[in-house]
Amino acid sequence: MKKRILLLLILSLFLTGCWDKRELNELAITMALGVDKVEDEYLASAQVVLPSEVSMKAGTGRSPVTLFQEKGKTVNEAIQKLTSISPRHIYPGHLQIVVIGESLAKEGIGSLLDYLSRNWEVRSDFYLMVAKDNTAENILNIQTTLENIPANNIYWILHTSEKHLSTTSAVTLAELIVDLEREGKEGVLTGIKVIGDQESGSSKQNVESITPAAHIKFQELAVLKDDKLVGWLTDDESRGYNGVTNQIKTTLGTMSCPEGGKVNIEVNKFKSKLKSKLVNGNPEIEVNIQISGNLGEVDCSIDLTKEETLKMLEKLYEEQVEKSINKSIKVVQDKFGSDIFGFGATIHQQNPKEWKKIKDQWNEEFSEIPVNIKVKMTIRHFGAVINPIQKTIKE
């Protein structure tokens, strides 16, 4: 018996509890964080949930979130100073998104990434984005529909559009840091914009009408070099980037028929693979792309019962994808000189001896390296009908 008591006493020494425990009513649950650069200071904007307003029983009809803001000489100082205006500790453990003002992105986001990666309360699976032609403060001030917490709304729009649209890229903190630290690879972030009347969008009336005065939209990709924003890709160029980097899950392709009209291809498989080669002693990159999909809308007069028609459509789509991707690569090489595709990382991985020779001059080498695109398209299904309805009606 005495031995059991002694054992319990010894074990109790290790049961000290959670030294850093905080009660829920002591925390300001921060779902979104915005960081801007205003002159020589950082402006931190924390979108905090109001528990009483998200409760079904206790809601009063006020906004479900509030925005706390403070300035500081560093990102850490600005965020710490939020405690001077918030009655609760600003808790980022449930962070969904971080919005970066465009002016800060141009100056460099290294300090912000350093703070986020060092903060033990912050997970690394939230999305980062850049406020295009705007500030993070203004983005986080917009009231949103469907999801009553704006941070959740923005998170799920990006999450959904990345799967189905192919012009956005949902990048987490962990993924961005890996890209920026990896040899021969630069980073990208999706751009976020306010469409409509920005001032009206901050009021609760914005979500009380069928058509909101303002709404959030993801548009274009921010090209980073080191940790600085150097430019923007258009939606078509963004689609090309996602194609090269194997980030297209599903998408919709539209192409012109030879005799007029349009055909939609519903792509359900898009796989790309990079390969490094030496040609006459010089490095080249080969991009092999395998695509499969189904015919969507057919708005032209073609005979789908003929095998040559199917081959013609597959060939047209292959040429269109090849042209789009070549254009995206050329724009990035000539205009930005930032290896967002990871061509250098591919050489580093597949041909390390060659990489050692060229890595110190990679910025110049990247702008000149030949890239060969090979596309193979397979159309698998036509839908419930074979020939276009228009063709059947005419006949």
Question: What pLDDT sits at residue 23?
Answer: 62
Give me the residue spans of the domains in the chain: 22-233, 235-395
From the number of C-beta atoms within 10 Å of its C-beta (0-12, 13-18, 19+), residue 295 rates as: buried
**pLDDT at residue 288 is higher than 60:** yes
> What is the band of 348 on the pLDDT scale with cuts at 50, 70, 90?
very high
Average pLDDT over residues 247-258: 88
> What is the band of 6 on the pLDDT scale with cuts at 50, 70, 90?
very low
Q: Is the dihedral of CA 53, 58, 59, 60 positive or negative?
A: negative
Average pLDDT over residues 217-236: 95
Question: What pLDDT sits at residue 8?
Answer: 47
Specify the higher pLDDT residue, 25 or 263: 263
Residue in 314, 327, 329 with CA at minimum distance from that of residue 375: 314
Question: What pLDDT sits at residue 305?
Answer: 81
**pLDDT at residue 97 is higher than 90:** yes
Superfamily (CATH) of domain 235-395: Nutrient germinant receptor protein C, domain 3 (3.30.300.210)
CA dihedral 337, 343, 349, 355 (to 10 degrees): -50
Rounded to whole angstroms, the Cα distance separating 322 from 91 reads 47
* DSSP 8-state secondary structure symbol assigned to residue 106: H
pTM of the model: 0.88
> What is the band of 148 on the pLDDT scale with cuts at 50, 70, 90?
confident
Both structure tokens of 169: 């890229």
Mean pLDDT of the chain: 87
**pLDDT at residue 16 is higher than 60:** no
